[in-house]
């Protein structure tokens, strides 16, 4: 469950996230070089990537399509768009300008719903090219400051990115993490990006400010170098507290870009706003405007799969669970919800299937090895009262080990026989007689006392009694 509100000394945090994702194209945004992570440095290059004199960018149409998929999945309006040059000198930017979308981005005005129901606005999701990668050698901790020399790998230069800019609608570290997780789930579901934060194909910058609830927005700081979902929460929490401390000490917040240091758990000043580059944006004269036709947009929209939120809702409804329950979330994350529905289609109980899958299928992908019909058989035995939950778990273990099989046969071989109600009633009588104190306390309303009684019955039945049924009987007798 997400913590919707975070407050500290009477302040709240106001957070917007800028998430860069590398698109899962075969080639770069403006050239035919491969878009591939992990290759030998400076092998995926060409005149355009190198920014050679005379080279010209040509837009990768598939990148536009993937960017549109992102926009449509985030409920954005797709509009005619243009590219601009963002001018700045940096050794890993070969042309000394980044081609990005400035005034007219492809996608605007969308939203993303968090599992807890919070709606985070999406201001824009625009296309741009990635820079190369600099490795600073000989300085402290790989920073450029104090380095003896720098190595530049241009394999990443020109890789297509979409920058997804949220509105400042996030109010807690937990929501920020949920936002990143949900966004990642959507990107994976629509095949737009492999969204690996550890490989940098998904990168998060956070704009953080604090205020008294209801007050005007405070001055924000942009936090960079947030490289994991966990750091997103840590970094913004640290930053919010830092700002509150400053305000409480009577100091003003300066608009800054700050660097998150994973090691010391702090943010450090990178540059003040006054020191920021003047990017001198202007329309990229080497490219023409892109106006996706209504037909193209609808074609892309129609090709979108059912998104994680809808899949969670669908599964939760079928399984009788909450949409933000952990079981539903993890099964949808793994893409196993279709499998759960095929267990249902095979006559099984989807509720029991989800309970089993949550733990037992954790290491599996979207297509578990166990035939859905076999899991269906198992859940049927449970529903019919022929197996207890504990027994079912044992049988499932066997099924998974064998890669399938008949649950009933395995249960029989293990000697699992569900006791009928009269046998259980007798065992309850024995337990009450054996532990009168516990019974009295239980009757007096001490729920904890039930444990001793159930324990007695389980022991007597050597674990074969159905705990749920036992509880029911005990409650009825009270």
Partner 1 sequence: MSPFDSASEIAAGVRSGDLKAVDVLEQHLARIDARETEIHAFNLVIADAARQQAAAVDAIVAAGGDPGPLAGVPVALKDNMCTRGVPTTCSSKILADWKPPYDGTVVSLLQRAGAVAIGKTNLDEFAMGSSTENSAFGPTRNPLDTDLVPGGSSGGSAAAVAAGFAPLSFGSDTGGSIRQPAALCGVVGVKPTYGRVSRYGLVAFASSLDQIGPFTHTVADAALALQVVCGHDPHDSTSIAEPLPDYSALLERGVEGLRVGRITDLPAGADPDVAERIEQAFDALAAAGATIVDVEVPAFTYGLTAYYIIAPAEASSNLARYDGVRYGLRVDAPDTHAMYSATRAAGFGDEVKRRILLGTYALSAGYYDAYYGKALRIRRLMADDFAKAYAQADVLLTPSSPSVAFPFGSKTADPFAMYLCDTYTIPANLTGEPGMSVPFGTGQNDLPVGVQVLAPALGEPVMLQVAAELERAATDLTAGGAS
Q: Which stretch binds partner 1 (CB under 8 A): 201-209, 265-273, 278-286, 292-300?
A: 278-286
Report if residue 140 touches partner 1, rule: CB under 8 A. Answer: no
Report if residue 53 touches partner 1, rule: CB under 8 A. Answer: yes
Q: Which stretch binds partner 1 (CB under 8 A): 62-70, 85-93, 169-177, 424-432?
A: 85-93
Handedness of CA 203, 207, 208, 211 (dihedral sign): negative
Secondary structure (H, E, C), the chain:
CCCCCCEECCEEEEEEEEEEEECCCCECCCCCCECCCCCCCCCCCCHHHHCCCCCCCCCCHHHHHHHHHHHHHCCCEECCECCEEEECCCCCCCCCEEEECCCCCCEEEEEEECCCCCEEEEEEEEEEECCCEEEEECCHHHCCCCCCEEEEECCCCCCEEEEEEECCCECCHHHHHHHHHHHHHHHHHCCCCCCCHHHCCEEEEEEEEEECCCCCCCCCEEEEEECCHHHHHHHHHHHHHHHHHHHHCCCCCCCEEEEEECCCCEEEEEEEHHHCCCCCCEECCCCCCECCCHHHHHHHHHHCCCCHHHHHHHHHHHHCCCCCCHHHHHHHHCCCHHHHHHHHHCCCCHHHHHHHHHHHCCCCCCCCCCCHHHHHHHHHHHHCCCCCHHHHHHHHHHHHHHCCCCHHHHHHHCCCCCCCHHHHHHHHHHHHHHCHHHHHHHHCCCHHHHHHHHHHHHHHCCCCCCHHHHHHHHHHHC
Using CB under 8 A, which of 80, 91, 397, 463 touches partner 1? 91
Instruction: Indicate the residue among 85 and 184 with the shorter CB distance to partner 1.
Output: 85
Number of residues that bind partner 1 (CB under 8 A): 29
Using CB under 8 A, which of 28, 85, 124, 184 touches partner 1? 85
Report if residue 137 touches partner 1, rule: CB under 8 A. Answer: no
Report if residue 131 touches partner 1, rule: CB under 8 A. Answer: no
CB 456 within 8 A of CB 449: no
Report if residue 89 touches partner 1, rule: CB under 8 A. Answer: yes
Report if residue 297 touches partner 1, rule: CB under 8 A. Answer: no
Report if residue 152 touches partner 1, rule: CB under 8 A. Answer: yes
Instruction: Indicate the residue among 95 and 129 with the shorter CB distance to partner 1.
Output: 95
Instruction: Indicate the residue among 89 and 420 with the shorter CB distance to partner 1.
Output: 89
Report if residue 59 touches partner 1, rule: CB under 8 A. Answer: yes
Report if residue 291 touches partner 1, rule: CB under 8 A. Answer: no
Report if residue 371 touches partner 1, rule: CB under 8 A. Answer: no
Report if residue 280 touches partner 1, rule: CB under 8 A. Answer: yes
Q: Which stretch binds partner 1 (CB under 8 A): 54-62, 69-77, 118-126, 411-419?
A: 54-62
CA gap 157, 90 in Å, rounded: 12
Report if residue 143 touches partner 1, rule: CB under 8 A. Answer: no
Report if residue 278 touches partner 1, rule: CB under 8 A. Answer: yes
Instruction: Indicate the residue among 50 and 229 with the shorter CB distance to partner 1.
Output: 50
Using CB under 8 A, which of 1, 9, 143, 282 touches partner 1? 282
CA gap 179, 223 in Å, rounded: 16
Whole-number Cα distances in Å, 249 to 242, 244, 246, 260, 345: 11, 8, 5, 23, 63
Whole-number Cα distances in Å, 107 to 305, 311, 396: 19, 24, 47
Q: Which stretch binds partner 1 (CB under 8 A): 44-52, 108-116, 176-184, 464-472?
A: 44-52
Instruction: Indicate the residue among 59 and 434 with the shorter CB distance to partner 1.
Output: 59
Instruction: Indicate the residue among 27 and 166 with the shorter CB distance to partner 1.
Output: 27
- x/- string (CB under 8 A) for partner 1, residues 441-470? ------------------------------
For residue 152, give the nearest of 45, 35, 26 by alpha carbon.
45
- For the chain, the residue count is 478
Q: Which stretch binds partner 1 (CB under 8 A): 82-90, 217-225, 312-320, 336-344?
A: 82-90
Write down the least CB distance from residue 55 to partner 1, Å: 8
Instruction: Indicate the residue among 47 and 403 with the shorter CB distance to partner 1.
Output: 47
- x/- string (CB under 8 A) for partner 1, residues 202-231? ------------------------------
Report if residue 102 touches partner 1, rule: CB under 8 A. Answer: no
**And the tokens for 249?**
């000490």
Write down the least CB distance from residue 102 to partner 1, Å: 12
Report if residue 287 touches partner 1, rule: CB under 8 A. Answer: yes
Instruction: Indicate the residue among 136 and 301 with the shorter CB distance to partner 1.
Output: 136
Instruction: Indicate the residue among 263 and 285 with the shorter CB distance to partner 1.
Output: 285
Using CB under 8 A, which of 16, 71, 94, 160 touches partner 1? 94
**And the tokens for 102?**
């400035």
Using CB under 8 A, which of 58, 306, 362, 389 touches partner 1? 58
Residues that bind partner 1 (CB under 8 A): 47, 50-59, 85, 87, 89, 91, 94-97, 150, 152, 278, 280-282, 285-288
């Amino acid at each position: 469950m997400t913590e919707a509100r975070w407050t500290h000394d009477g302040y709240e945090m106001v957070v917007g996230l800028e998430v860069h994702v590398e698109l899962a194209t075969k080639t770069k945004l403006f050239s035919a070089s491969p878009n591939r992570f992990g290759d030998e440095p400076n092998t995926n290059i060409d005149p355009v990537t190198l920014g050679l004199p005379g080279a010209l960018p040509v837009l990768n149409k598939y990148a536009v399509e993937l960017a549109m998929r992102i926009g449509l999945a985030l409920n954005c309006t797709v509009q005619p768009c243009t590219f601009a040059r963002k001018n700045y000198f940096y050794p890993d930017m070969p042309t000394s300008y980044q081609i990005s979308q400035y005034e007219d981005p492809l996608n605007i005005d969308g939203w993303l719903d968090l599992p807890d129901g919070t709606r985070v606005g999406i201001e824009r999701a625009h296309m741009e090219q990635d820079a190369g990668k600099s490795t600073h050698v000989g300085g402290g901790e790989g920073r450029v400051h104090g380095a003896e020399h720098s190595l530049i790998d241009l394999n990443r230069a020109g890789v297509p990115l979409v920058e997804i800019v949220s509105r400042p609608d996030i109010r807690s570290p937990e929501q920020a993490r949920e936002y990143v997780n949900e966004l990642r789930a959507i990107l994976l579901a629509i095949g737009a990006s492999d969204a690996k934060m550890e490989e940098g194909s998904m990168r998060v910058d956070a704009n953080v400010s604090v205020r008294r609830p209801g007050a005007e927005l405070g001055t924000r700081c942009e936090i960079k170098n947030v490289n994991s979902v966990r750091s997103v929460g840590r970094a913004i929490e640290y930053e919010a507290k830092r700002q509150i401390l400053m305000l409480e000490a009577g100091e003003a917040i300066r608009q800054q870009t700050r660097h998150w240091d994973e090691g010391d758990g702090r943010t450090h000043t990178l540059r003040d706003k006054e020191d920021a580059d003047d990017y001198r944006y202007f329309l990229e004269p080497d490219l023409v405007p892109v106006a996706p036709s209504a037909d193209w947009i609808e074609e892309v929209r129609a090709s979108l799969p059912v998104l994680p939120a809808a899949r969670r809702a669908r599964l939760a409804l079928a399984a009788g669970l909450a949409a933000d329950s952990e079981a539903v979330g993890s099964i949808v994350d793994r893409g196993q919800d279709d499998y759960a529905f095929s267990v249902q289609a095979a006559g099984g109980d989807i509720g029991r299937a989800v309970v089993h899958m949550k733990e037992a299928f954790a290491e599996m992908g979207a297509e578990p090895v166990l035939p859905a019909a076999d899991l269906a058989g198992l859940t049927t035995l449970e529903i019919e009262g022929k197996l207890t939950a504990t027994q079912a778990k044992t049988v499932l273990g066997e099924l998974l080990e064998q890669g399938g099989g008949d649950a009933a046969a395995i249960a029989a071989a293990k000697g699992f026989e569900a006791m009928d109600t009269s046998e259980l009633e007798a065992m309850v009588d024995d337990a009450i007689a054996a532990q009168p104190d516990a019974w009295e306390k239980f009757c007096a309303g001490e729920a904890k006392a039930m444990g001793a009684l159930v324990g007695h019955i389980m022991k007597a039945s050597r674990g074969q009694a159905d705990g749920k049924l036992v509880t029911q009987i005990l409650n009825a007798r009270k």
